Amino acid sequence: MNVGIGARVKRKEDKRFITGKGKYTDDVRVENQAYAAFVRSPHAHAKVKGIDKSAALAMEGVIDVLDGGQLTGDGIGNIICGWAVTSKDGSPMNMGPWSALATDRVRYVGDAVAVVIAESQALARIAAEAVEVEYEVLPAVASAAKALAAGAPQVHDNAPGNLIFDWEIGDAAATDAALAGAAHVTEISLTNNRLSPNPMEPRSAVAIYDAAEEHYTLYTTSQNPHVARLVLSAFYNVAPEHKLRVIAPDVGGGFGSKIYIYPEEITCLWASMKTGHSVKWTGDRAEAFMTDAHGRDHVSTARIGFDANNRITGFKVDTIANFGAYMSLFSSAVPTYLYATLLSGQYDIANIHANVRAVYTNTVPVDAYRGAGRPEACYLVERIMETAARELGVDPAELRRINFIRAFPHQTPVIMNYDIGDFEANLDQAMAAADVAGFAARKAEAAGRGKLRGLGYSSYIEACGIAPSAAVGSLGAGVGLWESAEVRVNPVGTIEILTGSHSHGQGHETTFAQIVAERFGLPIENVAIVHGDTDKVQFGMGTYGSRSGAVGMSAIVKAMDKVEAKVKKIAAHVLEASEDDIVIEGGEVKVAGTDKAMGWHEVGLAAYTAHNLPPEMEPGLKESAFYDPANFTFPAGTYICEVEVDPETGTVEIVQFTASDDFGTIINPMIVEGQVHGGIAQGVGQALLEQVVYDDDAQLITGSFMDYAMPRADDLPSYNVNHASTICPNNPLGMKGCGEAGAIGSPPAVINAITDAIGNNNLAMPATPLAVWKAIQAAG
């Protein structure tokens, strides 16, 4: 059975999950375990005047109640944003202080003020209710636009007017001139709705302090345990790196929200040292809604100009991005380098200018959520293209075709250099698969049943394979974004791959094993993937930004290159042949054109017995590599959504959703299609159902699955997923990444389809039945 590149291998990791044997952080139980419960602000903005712990401390089984004064007094550092963005006037971004436990002021509902450590989880929670915090309530603001208005409540003293930065990219004068001279200008104003990532596993932490060794262990729900260790050590002063082990075991989904290091993990580590107990915290869903970093929340206006031949001449964008109450780890990069740099879309646009203002509000911090900036860019570009097509009276597919970039590499005016793609191939494939030719007949048939049928396109592009370290460094990133791998060949020939990537649903234990099995002709069962433990894997940057394939697997390939070179040297020596004549095939290491061969396991054994190695060669067979990508990768494609709207109720049914993606080389189509399905579901969720709601006092209204509409099985269609690939020239496997495409590409396709159906372009996400019904009424 073929298990190599391109094979639909069933997942190796499934067995433990389908039999209930997965090991997630909340499943961990250790000696001397105590439980943490956080005392959280019920107010969106308040001064903390005093904390009375006495009632809680008096409860039997309560070990301690700790507050922000104690935490900062012990030297625990403020939580930081790791990406410096500079305003257009040259001033640095205004980062306000964020202590893991608030000291004098709380800035959003859910901001942690104190922590109770008790002998049981139930008791910790009851005791947390008994901690009396005296607040002086201050005026609060939830909307970014309102936060910028004169007289708005000030979230941080060092950010006047709540402005974090006012940043721009591109040539403003040239873009203005292009728009002034355009034959047609289309304008649009839209909101990219605020979302809660909601991985099904709530965040959790188990912190263990070993006083004798002054050593900490943290089990946590992390997409990037090494990054967690780095920032916990270097910035939050919890412990030096060699005294801190971070383990991210099975993790139940992330979607970005488990990249960041939150107050709870920091506090559990510190509290484990402070109390002498191991400390466990597992958030409930209500805590997830009020503490996990939210996503999106942009308000934008845009103008796009066309010449008389319907070619784009200029594109100008103004965006306000809501950052919430504090700057989360990667927050500043999302509406800048992951957003404005993708505003060229799939189109040849000579002049682009974008201005982005980042704003504090009294809401949960906002950071990367599946797609991170790129969905916001795609939504703007693809909504304005569809709108322009309607205004110009041009078929929307044709308007895209006229403007597609067709020569590569292509330098956009907003930093990105697209390496390769064939956008028309994806459009053609999607149109054929969606039977666009038959749409008019289907629309007429639906009309006969009293239904409004609509078709919407979205031709998306994203920058993935995050990211070339020097490039992101020049843009302000505080870290490099390479990946590492180690290939350990055991004396019996089995292989362990240690990777800095982290799987929380992506299937690395299968796909990573596939590339190794193919390379050395071994059964996939002989390859084990080790990840998620800083004591096992030396370093890694983790999994986000669709980087595990293009960056993580590239590191494995580099390490395998080194293993192969050593294997060939050993075999050439033992078989008395030239190294150039050695080939590795089907689990054997052979001299080409002869019957001389060694089994793969015999080479492994030879490397470790070291009885007969070439002169000067070190024993053993273990190689490592760090891979730093030369460029971003650029997955792209076209999605076509077809909907039926019930004009009486405003209910939308997605009757067909068709995808054509270009992900470059695909290792396991089954897993890649699963990533697309899940991404589309999240995008459809954004388009039709999901919205974090705050009231005018910045109280969180959507605090549970009763209030926040998650997509369920009967809300969604089956998906028609297709691939038309170009091979990425910038990494050894030719991969581009597939994790975020669905979430990036699908929202505009859905809204373009509904607005097509109802004949009113003015429709915001989420397009609930009420919103759609109102839009139908407004259209008359």
Partner 1 sequence: MTEVTMTVNGRKVRRDVPDETLLSEFLRESLRLTGTHVGCDTTQCGACVVHVNGAAVKSCSALAVALDGAEVTTIEGLAPNGELHPMQKAFNDNHGLQCGFCTPGMIMTSVDMVEKAKAAGKTLTEAEIRHGLEGNICRCTGYHNIVKAVAQAAQEM
User: Which lies closer to partner 1 via its Cβ, residue 20 or residue 615?
Assistant: 20
Whether the CB-CB separation of 330 and 291 falls below 8 Å is answered with no
Q: Where are the alpha helices (DSSP H) in 537-690?
A: 554-575, 600-609, 669-688
Which pair of tokens denotes residue 481?
């974004």
Q: How far is CA 463 from CA 93, 170, 324, in A?
A: 24, 18, 25
Q: What is the DSSP letter of 243?
A: G
Single out the residue of 487, 713, 437, 524 nearest to residue 607, CA to CA: 487
Identity of the residue numbered 530: V
Q: C-beta of 522: minimal distance to partner 1 in Å? A: 22
CB of 660 to partner 1, least distance (A): 17
In angstroms, the CA 262 to CA 294 distance is 13
Dihedrals phi, psi of 515, to nearest 5 degrees: -70, -25
- Parallel, antiparallel, or unpaired for β 352-360 and 312-324? parallel
The residue among 82 and 747 lying less far from partner 1, judged by its C-beta, is: 747
Report the distance separating Cα 44 and Cα 137, nearest Å: 8
Alpha helices in 346-418, H assignment, sequence order: 374-392, 396-403
Element (H, E) at 425: helix 423-433
- Residue 29 backbone zone (phi > 0: left; psi -120 to 50: alpha; other: beta): beta
Structure tokens at 332: 């500043």
Nearer to partner 1, 734 or 742 (CB): 742
Instruction: Choose between 27 and 648: whose C-beta lies nearer to partner 1.
Output: 27
If the CB atoms of residues 218 and 681 are measured against partner 1, the closer one turns out to be 681
Which one, 14 or 395, has the nearer CB to partner 1?
Answer: 14
Tell me which residue of 484, 574, 571 sits closest to 520, measured CA to CA. 571
505 versus 552: smaller Cβ distance to partner 1: 505
- CB-nearer residue toward partner 1: 344 or 510: 510
List contacts with partner 1 (CB under 8 A): 10-11, 13-24, 26-27, 29, 122, 198-202, 250-253, 255, 284-286, 504-507, 670-671, 673-674, 677-682, 704-706, 710-714, 716, 718-719, 742
Across the strands, what pairs with 366?
A: 294
Quote the least distance from Cβ 753 to partner 1, whole Å.
Answer: 18
Give min distance, CB of 677 to partner 1, in A: 4
The sign of the torsion formed by the CA atoms of 368, 373, 378, 379 equals positive
Question: Which of 218/671 has CB closer to partner 1?
Answer: 671
List all residues 6 or more positions away from 371 whose beta carbon is below 8 Å from its beta carbon. Answer: 378, 462, 679, 740, 743, 744
Q: In the complex, what is the shortest distance from the CB of residue 742 to partner 1, in angstroms, rounded to a whole number?
A: 8
Residue of 348, 346, 352 whose CA lies nearest to 309: 348
Residues 6+ away with beta carbon under 8 Å from 471: 631, 632
Residue closer to partner 1, measured from CB, 505 or 650: 505
Q: Tell me how far, at minimum, the Cβ of 285 lies from partner 1, in Å.
A: 4
Minimum CB–partner distance for residue 104 and partner 1 (Å): 31
In the complex with partner 1, the residue whose CB is nearer, 27 or 525, is 27
User: Least Å distance between CB 505 and partner 1?
Assistant: 3
For the beta sheet containing 719-723, the strands, ordered from the edge strand earlier in sequence to the opposite edge, are 452-461, 636-645, 652-662, 719-723
What is the smallest separation between the CB atom of 547 and partner 1, expressed in angstroms?
17
- The CA distance from 374 to 740, in Å, is 9
- Annotate 153-190 with three-state secondary structure: CCCCCCCHHHEEEEEEEECHHHHHHHHHCCCEEEEEEE
Q: How far is the CB of 542 from partner 1 (least distance, A)?
A: 15
We find the least distance from the C-beta atom of residue 689 to partner 1, in angstroms, to be 12
